[in-house]
Amino acid sequence: HQSMRLADYRPPAYTITDVDLTFELEDHQTRVTAVSQVVRQGETQAVLELDGEHLTLLALTVDGEDKTPEQQTDTALVLTDLPEQFELKVVTEIDPANNTALEGLYKSDGTFCTQCEAQGFRRITYFLDRPDVMAKYSVKVIADKHKYPSLLSNGNLVERGDLDDGRHWVRWQDPFAKPCYLFALVAGDFDCLTDRYTTGSGREVALELYVDKGNRHRGYHALASLKKAMQWDEQVYGLEYDLGVYMVVAVDFFNMGAMENKGLNIFNAKFVLADAESATDDDYFNIESVIAHEYFHNWTGNRVTCRDWFQLSLKEGLTVFRDQQFSADMASPALVRIKQARVIREHQFAEDAGPMAHPIRPEEVMEMNNFYSVTVYDKGAEVIRMLQRLLGQGGFRKGMDLYFERHDGQAVTCDDFVQAMADANGVDLEQFKRWYSQSGTPQVTVQSEYDAKHQQLILTLSQHTPPTQDQADKQPLPIPFGVELVDEHGSRSEVLSLSESEQRFCFDHVASNPAIACLTGFSAPVKVKQTIADSDLIRIALKGQDDFVRWDACQTLFSQHIHQLAEDSSRNSSEQVSEALSELIAELLKSPPEDAALLAEMLMLPSFDTLSQQQDIVNVDGLLRARKLIVTRLAQEFATQWQQLVDERPKQDYAYTAEQANWRRLLDRAMFYLAHSELPEAETQLQQVYQDSDNMTQTLGVLTGCQQANLSLFDSLMSDFEQLWRKDSLVMDKWFSLHASRPQDDMAGQLESLMEHPMYSINNPNKVRAIWGPFAMRNPQAFHQADGRGYRLLTDYLLNLDSVNPQVASRLVTPLLAFKRFDLGRQQHMRQQLERLAEQATLSRDLYEKVTRALK
Ligand code: B3K
Ligand code: ZN
């Protein structure tokens, strides 16, 4: 397996301006005819190297004459002696029904569909499969009319007709030139939900949502979300939709969340279908955000696309930033920001600390699918957010306008984006560009001196980015560092610009020694090192103005106490948990913040993952024990309050409104503690909540509480739940996850029986993820068993999964990659399992890249 380097980028020797595709769809022998108009861009003797994988070549002509390739390999077709301009015809045969990798054209559950990003188009035909080759597509699809009444592709439907043999055909044309990764085709039998949208300038757009038969009633939220996103993008960025039709198709087999193919988004059904009985508030939230994300790609990704895949963050970081802005406008802004900070701290910091560390613009890639990462996406979005903070909302908008003015219809780089921002605002962003090229998590150390006599506060900030596996030397970055000073009189805040290794900032007229809250709004994706007293944390939590630092102060207070307790294994009693935590909870419950979602988050203990990110060598047993002790203590001490919150839950009919959803979040928290309270009536009360629930959020809240607290009620409710939902694929994923994340020591039998369930299939990524994701990523007790059995279970499974679907396998291996951060015993067990993977002769490129990097 070979790596590609950003430094080796060269423009293509030939480009393709137009392509005419014909698909004759059959399960095992689909015939694809591709007629491309090719134009030479490089020197006269340039060879044309077409990408192609898993293809059977049936015919090849240049300007109508048969052509013998100079060379044909497993991955390429090389042609020589070519005119300056010509028509290339390639006929290939593919086997969609046996395509379990779900890349290229595949058939799942009776539906044909495609996934071409990043490099799936080369599994459809021989082509220049790179984003800087942009062509206009005309697509003819021929298939059985009865089985596949809907035949869809990008752009506008221009012609259709019937054939004598029971087949029918359609022709689609996309007026916009696009890279082949945005090509899409769907053939199936769906229920279709339609609506209309009129853009600001009066363009009529037909909205069409295609779902499995019988699921129409679950499509309304997605459709409403789409309209909100369309309107929001017009209002906030002045961006309108540009075709007459916008189609969204929901499928059951999908490697990730969704895909932004021009005019024809393909979605994992999980991010489309929702109704109160079957979907949680989080599902509603995610649907709104993923629908918006894919819609926003129409400008940030499709109209302006990436020159090469190293530039992926150009479209992904920016589009995640845009979907976050949108979500914050739709729901609780505090909650949206907290969720995002959690993603960065739990997952992105972990990626930086491990063998897959890479900058948001990677420099070396073996398997591109491995770089659809939290770094490229989520840290990428944080980088855009910092730019916006630097330039202000107006300045940022000016930069966006200039970016589109300059680059509409082009395939460009991250540098082009930053240049547009710089030029539109007349600022120098050279140092800022380091955020694109430098990997790793900066640590900012905060020291303060208060001078009471002069009423002056001096803050000394210093930054240091520890070396990462991919990059030894690090340079100082420009870091917008928000601080809020909170004292008994009130608070004041400021965003400090830290750009050197160390800087001093002086605040005048500071009447008393304030509590110093750092990183207001999570102003930069950095770790903060600060010695701070419990009393200051409590003050920030209760009196701070910034929602993020209020929440963060609670997290820090919890963390400090959990770590202390974890390090001292002699302290086995919850009695010794500090009074500070009790004081915080008591005060929060007495005078809660207005936003119930914020309160719910403030009451939540940091996860095992967050806690483990705060340690150099993770103390698994200590952390699990200490966290549990503190939960139980708080559960018992405030038992009546939890009980009361549960009793006083609003009883109106379910609606997904911000107000209701925020309330239900708080109810979740209260039920979690109630389940741990050991009150004799707790189980009865929880059972009551389960019984009177009219929505999945509340139901799942009860189940999760019972599961975490190991109540016997859990088992009976789970069988009831299964009886009710066993025919519903998406709901059963929740049931699988609850079983797989149940804290216990031995999971072998449990996992075995889940995989015997009639709903389970190794071919369906949602099922695989519903079981193995929670086991490996949200069940530290089971996964990190000291004797290594958790690691072995995962590896046994990955060895099977890799040959079925390498992309999904490669995501699931992530927790093993972090082995160097564990104690020697666990380290050895994890390494052993990685070595088992490495020894597998047929290991996919996806897993090979991660495993070899980890073992290096
Ligand atoms: N662009 C796609 C992701 C494609 C992943 C390929 N392995 C979805 C998105 O980010 O919108
Ligand atoms: Zn995206």
> 573: pLDDT confidence band, cut at 50, 70 and 90?
low
Q: Is the CB of 372 under 6 A from ligand 1?
A: yes
**For 767-788, how does the pLDDT look when each residue is reduced to its tens digit (9 = 90+)?**
999 999 999 999 999 999 999 9
- Residue 417: in which H helix or E strand, if any? helix 414-425
Taking the CA of residue 369 as reference, the ligand 1 atom at the shortest distance is 7
Q: Is the CB of 260 under 6 A from ligand 1?
A: yes
Query: Do 673 and 638 contact (CB within 8 A), yes or no?
Result: yes
Compute, in angstroms, the gap from residue 258 CA to the centroid of ligand 1.
7
> 4: pLDDT confidence band, cut at 50, 70 and 90?
very high
Domain 443-531 top-level CATH class: mainly beta
Residue of 372, 376, 808 to mutate, ligand 1, most atoms within 8 A of C-beta: 372
For residue 118, whether the previous peptide bond is cis, meaning omega lies within 30 degrees of 0, is: yes
Q: What is the mean pLDDT of residues 142-147?
A: 98
Query: Do 456 and 415 contact (CB within 8 A), yes or no?
Result: no
For residues 353 and 441, give the distance between their C-alpha atoms in angstroms, rounded to a whole number. 8
CA distances to 746, 767, 842, 846 from 791, rounded to whole Å, are 12, 20, 21, 19
**For 325-381, how does the pLDDT look when each residue is reduced to its tens digit (9 = 90+)?**
999 999 889 999 999 999 999 999 999 999 999 999 999 999 999 999 999 999 999
Residue 620 is predicted with a pLDDT of 97
Burial class (CB within 10 angstroms; exposed 0-12, middle 13-18, buried 19+) of 319:
buried
How many Cβ atoms are within 10 Å of 803's Cβ, its own excluded? 14
**For 787-822, how does the pLDDT look when each residue is reduced to its tens digit (9 = 90+)?**
999 999 999 999 999 999 999 999 999 999 999 999
Residue type, 514: P
Helices 579-590 and 534-543 pack at an angle, to 10 degrees, of 10
> Is 621 a residue whose pLDDT tops 80?
yes
> Is 574 a residue whose pLDDT tops 60?
no
Residue of 122, 259, 298 to mutate, ligand 1, most atoms within 8 A of C-beta: 259
Q: Is the CB of 323 under 6 A from ligand 1?
A: no
**For residue 515, which of 490, 552, 486 has the smallest C-alpha distance?**
486
Question: HSE of 92 in the Cβ direction (CA atoms, 13 Å)?
Answer: 23
Please give, one letter per residue, the 3-state secondary structure of 269-335: HHHCCCCCCCCCHHHHHHHHHHHHHHHHCCCECCCEEECCHHHHHHHHHHHHHHHHHHHHHHCCHHH
**For residue 175, which of 63, 302, 312 has the smallest C-alpha distance?**
302
Residue 575 is predicted with a pLDDT of 61
For residues 767 and 755, give the distance between their C-alpha atoms in angstroms, rounded to a whole number. 9
How many Cβ atoms are within 10 Å of 449's Cβ, its own excluded? 11
Q: Is the CB of 117 under 6 A from ligand 1?
A: yes
Helix or strand or coil: residue 515?
Answer: strand
Q: Is the CB of 369 under 6 A from ligand 1?
A: yes
Indicate if ipTM > 0.90. Answer: yes
Q: Which CATH architecture has domain 305-437?
A: Orthogonal Bundle (1.10)
Sign of CA dihedral 186, 187, 192, 197: positive
Hey, do 305-437 and 443-531 end up sharing a CATH topology, with the first three levels equal? no
Strands, sheet with 456-464, edge to edge from the N-terminal-most edge strand = 502-507, 456-464, 443-451, 527-530
Residue with the smallest CA separation from ligand 1 atom 4 is 117
Residue type, 167: R
**For 215-229, how does the pLDDT look when each residue is reduced to its tens digit (9 = 90+)?**
999 999 999 999 999
Residue with tokens 């906030």: 236
List, as one string, the DSSP characters of 684-750: HHHHHHHHT--SHHHHHHHHHHHHHTT-THHHHHHHHHHHHHTT-HHHHHHHHHHHHT---S--HHH
Query: Do 304 and 400 contact (CB within 8 A), yes or no?
Result: no
Longest dimension (CA), the chain: 95
Residue with the smallest CA separation from ligand 1 atom 10 is 316
**For 646-676, how does the pLDDT look when each residue is reduced to its tens digit (9 = 90+)?**
999 999 999 999 999 999 999 999 999 999 9
**For 17-37, how does the pLDDT look when each residue is reduced to its tens digit (9 = 90+)?**
999 999 999 999 999 999 999
**Cα dihedral 413/419/425/429 (nearest 10):** 110
On whether the 1-189 domain is CATH 2.60.40.10, my answer is no
Q: Provide, rounded to the nearest whole percent, the portion of the chain with pLDDT above 90.
A: 98
Compute, in angstroms, the gap from residue 297 CA to the centroid of ligand 2.
7
Query: Do 341 and 403 contact (CB within 8 A), yes or no?
Result: no
Q: Is the CB of 536 under 6 A from ligand 1?
A: no
Residues in the chain: 856
- Looking at the CA of 314, name the nearest ligand: 2
For residues 307 and 313, give the distance between their C-alpha atoms in angstroms, rounded to a whole number. 11
Compute, in angstroms, the gap from residue 117 CA to the centroid of ligand 1.
6
Query: Do 453 and 427 contact (CB within 8 A), yes or no?
Result: no
Q: What is the mean pLDDT of residues 842-846?
A: 98
> 576: pLDDT confidence band, cut at 50, 70 and 90?
low
Is the pTM higher than 0.95? The answer reads yes
For residues 817 and 853, give the distance between their C-alpha atoms in angstroms, rounded to a whole number. 9
Q: What is the mean pLDDT of residues 118-141?
A: 98
CA distances to 317, 356, 434, 653 from 474, rounded to whole Å, are 22, 17, 10, 55
Residue 572 is predicted with a pLDDT of 66
Among all residues, which ones are annotated catalytic? 294
Residue with the smallest CA separation from ligand 1 atom 9 is 259
- Mean per-residue pLDDT over the chain, rounded: 97
Query: Do 207 and 195 contact (CB within 8 A), yes or no?
Result: yes
In sequence order, what E strands does 433-513 have?
443-451, 456-464, 479-487, 490-498, 502-507
Compute, in angstroms, the gap from residue 151 CA to the centroid of ligand 1.
23
Neighbouring residues of the ion ligand 2, judged by CB less than 5 Å: 316, 319
Please give, one letter per residue, the 3-state secondary structure of 766-829: HHHHHHHHHHHHCCHHHHCCCCCHHHHHHHHHHHHHHHHCHHHHHHHCHHHHCHHHECHHHHHH
> 578: pLDDT confidence band, cut at 50, 70 and 90?
confident
Q: Is the CB of 846 under 6 A from ligand 1?
A: no
Q: How do the residues of the chain divide into helix, strand and coil, expressed in percent and rounded to 5?
A: 45, 25, 30
Taking the CA of residue 258 as reference, the ligand 1 atom at the shortest distance is 8
Q: Is the CB of 414 under 6 A from ligand 1?
A: no
Residue 511 is predicted with a pLDDT of 94
Residue with the smallest CA separation from ligand 1 atom 1 is 259
**For 686-732, how does the pLDDT look when each residue is reduced to its tens digit (9 = 90+)?**
999 999 999 999 999 999 999 999 999 999 999 999 999 999 999 99
Helix or strand or coil: residue 530?
Answer: strand
> Is 507 a residue whose pLDDT tops 80?
yes
Residue with tokens 């015997």: 756
Residue type, 767: K
For residues 32 and 27, give the distance between their C-alpha atoms in angstroms, rounded to a whole number. 13
**For 411-452, how does the pLDDT look when each residue is reduced to its tens digit (9 = 90+)?**
999 999 999 999 999 999 999 999 999 999 999 999 999 999
For residues 732 and 726, give the distance between their C-alpha atoms in angstroms, rounded to a whole number. 6
Q: Is the CB of 553 under 6 A from ligand 1?
A: no
Residue 99 is predicted with a pLDDT of 98
Burial class (CB within 10 angstroms; exposed 0-12, middle 13-18, buried 19+) of 159:
exposed
> Is 569 a residue whose pLDDT tops 80?
no
Residue of 270, 298, 316 to mutate, ligand 1, most atoms within 8 A of C-beta: 316
Residue type, 320: V
**For 301-333, how does the pLDDT look when each residue is reduced to its tens digit (9 = 90+)?**
999 999 999 999 999 999 999 999 999 999 889
For residues 547 and 480, give the distance between their C-alpha atoms in angstroms, rounded to a whole number. 18
Token pair in block for residue 344: 């960065």
- Looking at the CA of 181, name the nearest ligand: 1
Domain ranges of the chain: 1-189, 305-437, 443-531
- 406: which strand partners? none
Helix or strand or coil: residue 28?
Answer: coil
Query: Do 184 and 114 contact (CB within 8 A), yes or no?
Result: yes
How many Cβ atoms are within 10 Å of 213's Cβ, its own excluded? 9
Burial class (CB within 10 angstroms; exposed 0-12, middle 13-18, buried 19+) of 682:
buried
For residues 437 and 367, give the distance between their C-alpha atoms in angstroms, rounded to a whole number. 19
Q: At CA 125, angle to CA 123 and CA 126, rounded to 5?
A: 105
Compute, in angstroms, the gap from residue 259 CA to the centroid of ligand 1.
5
